[in-house]
């Protein structure tokens, strides 16, 4: 797109926003600071480099679009490619199964920081901060219960794994001079009715206490709940109530995955409650369709509401934004770009909201004025600001990235089989 055109449109938008008291330059500066944590697992349908076993744990990537990353080099190449179409500087969220195991089988209770040495170097070279996740799924010992397993030997295996993951996250955080956010999600649950709801939750609580006994300075723990998993439909040990209570009583970050709640539940509404009782929130921005299907995030009301709530709660520095979807049915690099840019577009609109005026209306009981301005704000030229933001960041403006992704597919990913 012609640069002059983008600049011209931006100048008009700037004036238009100034008229409602909003500064578009300031909004762009704020957006520049918002780092997304890109989930490494979108590049290869949550396969990882540990073994070629099937994906278990009640999650599923559907589709078999050609060209998925088959090894660490390809995954890195794809992530960098995707990042080159996303304005700003972002983080990479690794799962334990994506370690650099050098062709050896390293079991989960044996993993060490050295298996992430090459990742740490690579991340530093590319100015990408790392986040981390323990991996309870896709392993012979996964079963239906991991950290909540009554069998001590299995439980201890997963406790050891998770402790080691925290040590890895600590090393990452130390090396990058910025806390590594480590997410703990386990699939534990039951396919059919259980008569031991309390028992497994009590075991999980004790396992977590043991895991978190070591205090670290360079990593932050977060715990992620879920409603149900495939094959684990009747009961989830780590439910929302469980982790909300655990987080509030143990000062832990709670992860809200937008696909992990009942379909009509507003995840945006949870922020203001949680942030009063827990230090920070981690988000897994996704798009559930009918169920926790992990479709690619788009600019819809759910994502918009979520971003608006972050800004309205003045919580940009207390909410970490990660993405979590895995669509294997379309170009995977394109999926990264769509979801990331959609989240950023939502955040930009949130940053351009005339909040002071809206709040003044609300304080004065001017319901009509508040609703009218909310409606008008939806169609203000935020897209001209977005284009300018992309231009400033040297990434493709508008739909230009489609052709770029196609080119990479023709030249690189289509040659993989
Ligand atoms: C699963 C959770 C979890 C995973 C990743 C791969 O339902 O959302 O965050 O998607 O750990
Ligand atoms: Zn998630």
pLDDT, tens digit (0-9, with 9 covering 90-100), for 3-21: 999 999 999 999 999 999 9
**Of the bound ligands, which one is closest to the alpha carbon of residue 227?**
1
What pLDDT is recorded for position 21? 98
Residue range 399-410: average pLDDT? 98
If you measure from the C-alpha of residue 73 to the centroid of ligand 1, how many angstroms do you get, rounded to a whole number? Answer: 23
Measured by CA distance, the residue closest to atom 1 of ligand 1 is 59
User: Residue 99 has what pLDDT?
Assistant: 98
Q: How confident is the model at residue 417 (pLDDT cuts 50, 70, 90)?
A: confident
Which of residues 1 and 179 earns the better pLDDT score?
179
For range 212-218, the mean pLDDT: 98
Residues annotated catalytic, as ranges: 185, 224, 226, 257, 260, 284, 292, 294, 324
> What pLDDT is attached to residue 321?
98
Class for the domain spanning 34-353: alpha beta
294 has binding-site annotation: yes
Centre of ligand 1 from the C-alpha of residue 50, in Å: 17
Polymer length in residues for the chain: 417
Backbone phi, psi, residue 293, to 5°: -85, -5
CB 113 within 8 A of CB 171: yes
Residue 95 is assigned to a ligand binding site: no
Residue 262 tokens, joined: 């009942």
Q: Tell me the per-residue pLDDT of 24-82, one tens digit each, with 9 for 90 and over.
A: 999 999 999 999 999 999 999 999 999 878 999 999 999 999 999 999 999 999 999 99
Q: What is the pLDDT of residue 51?
A: 84
Residue 52 confidence (pLDDT): 75
> Which atom number of ligand 1 is nearest to the Cα of residue 46?
6
pLDDT at 189 over 80: yes
Does residue 46 line the site of ligand 1, with CB under 6 A?
Answer: yes
At 275-314, the pLDDT tens digits run 999 999 999 999 999 999 999 999 999 999 999 999 999 9
Ligand 1 atom closest to 324 (CA): 10
CB count in 10 Å sphere of residue 410: 10
Q: What mean pLDDT is predicted for residues 187-207?
A: 98
Does ligand 1 have an atom closer than 6 angstroms to the CB of 284?
yes
The confidence score (pLDDT) of residue 286 equals: 98
109 marked ligand binding residue: no
Is the CB–ligand 1 distance for residue 324 below 6 Å?
Answer: yes
> What is the Å distance from ligand 2's center to 306 Cα?
15
If you average pLDDT over residues 89-114, what whole number do you get? 97
| Ligand nearest to C-alpha 59 | 1
For the chain, what is the HEC assignment?
A: CCHHHHHHHHHHHHHHHHCCCCCHHHHHHHHHCCCEEEEHHHCCCCCCCCCCCCCCCCCCCCCCCCCCCCCHHHHHHHHHHHHCCCCCCCEEEEEHHHCCCCCCCCCHHHCCHHHHHHHHHHHHHCCCCEEEECCCCCCCCCCCCCCCCCCHHHHHHHHHHHHHHHHHHHHHHHHHCCCEEEEECCCCEECCCCCCHHHHHHHHHHHHHHHCCCCCCCEEEEEECCCCECCECCEECCCHHHHHHHHHHHCCEEEEECCCCCCCCCCCCHHHHHCCCCCCEEEEECEEECEEEEECCCCCHHHHHHHHHHHHCCCCCCEEEEECCCCCCCCHHHHHHHHHHHHHHHHHHHHCCCHHHHHHHHHCCCHHHHHHHHHHHHCCCHHHHHHHHHHHCCCCCCCHHHHHHHHHHHHCHHHCC
CA of 232 to the centre of ligand 1 (A): 14
Tell me: the pLDDT tens digits for 147-185? 999 999 999 999 999 999 999 999 999 999 999 999 999
For residue 189, give the ligand nearest its CA.
1
The closest of 182, 172, 75, 70 to 115, measured between CA atoms, is 172
Rounded to the nearest angstrom, the distance between the alpha carbon of 33 and the centre of ligand 1 is 25
pTM > 0.75: yes or no: yes
Mutate to test the pocket of ligand 1, among 95, 133, 284 (most ligand atoms within 8 A of CB): 284
pLDDT in tens, 360-393: 999 999 999 999 999 999 999 999 999 999 999 9
Q: Across all residues in the chain, what is the average pLDDT?
A: 97
59 in ligand 1 pocket by Cβ < 6 Å? yes
Question: What does the pLDDT look like over 81-100, one tens digit per residue?
Answer: 999 999 999 999 999 999 99
Residue 53: the pLDDT is 84
User: Where in the chain are the domains?
Assistant: 34-353
Q: Does the C-beta of 133 come closer than 6 Å to ligand 1?
A: yes
């Amino acid at each position: 797109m012609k640069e002059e055109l983008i600049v011209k449109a931006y100048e008009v938008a700037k004036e238009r926003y100034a008229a409602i008291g909003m500064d578009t330059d300031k909004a762009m500066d704020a957006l520049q600071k918002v780092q997304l944590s890109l989930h490494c697992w979108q590049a290869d349908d949550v396969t990882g480099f540990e073994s070629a076993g099937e994906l278990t744990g009640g999650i599923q990537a559907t589709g078999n679009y050609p060209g998925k990353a088959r090894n660490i080099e390809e995954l890195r190449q794809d992530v960098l490619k995707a990042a080159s179409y996303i304005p700003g500087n972002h983080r990479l969220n690794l799962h334990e199964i994506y370690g650099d195991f050098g062709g050896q089988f390293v079991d989960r209770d044996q993993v060490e920081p050295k298996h992430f040495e090459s990742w740490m170097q690579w991340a530093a070279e590319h100015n990408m901060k790392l986040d981390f996740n323990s991996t309870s799924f896709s392993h012979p010992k996964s079963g239906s219960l991991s950290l909540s397993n009554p069998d001590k030997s299995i439980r201890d295996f997963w406790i050891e794994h998770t402790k080691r993951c925290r040590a890895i996250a600590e090393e990452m955080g130390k090396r990058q001079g910025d806390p590594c956010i480590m997410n703990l999600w386990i699939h534990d649950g039951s396919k059919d009715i259980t008569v031991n709801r309390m028992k497994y939750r009590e075991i999980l609580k004790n396992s977590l206490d043991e895991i978190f006994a070591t205090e670290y300075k360079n990593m932050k723990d977060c715990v992620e709940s879920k409603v149900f998993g495939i094959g684990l439909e009747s009961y989830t040990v780590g439910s929302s109530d469980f982790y909300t209570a655990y987080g509030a009583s143990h000062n832990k970050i709670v992860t809200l995955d937008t696909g992990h709640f009942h379909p009509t539940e507003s995840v945006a509404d949870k922020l203001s409650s949680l942030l009063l009782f827990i230090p920070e929130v981690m988000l897994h921005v996704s798009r559930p369709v009918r169920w926790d299907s992990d479709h690619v995030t788009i600019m819809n009301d759910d994502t918009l509401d979520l971003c608006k709530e972050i800004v309205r709660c003045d919580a940009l520095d207390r909410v970490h934004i990660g993405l979590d979807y895995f669509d294997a049915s379309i170009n995977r690099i394109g999926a990264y770009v769509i979801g990331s840019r959609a989240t950023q577009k939502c955040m930009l609109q949130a940053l351009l909201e005339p909040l002071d005026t809206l709040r003044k209306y609300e304080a004065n009981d001017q319901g009509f004025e508040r609703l009218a301005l909310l409606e008008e704000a939806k169609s203000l030229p935020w897209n001209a600001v977005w284009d300018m933001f992309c231009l400033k960041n040297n990434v493709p403006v508008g739909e230009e990235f489609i052709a770029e992704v196609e080119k990479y597919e023709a030249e690189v990913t289509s040659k993989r089989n």
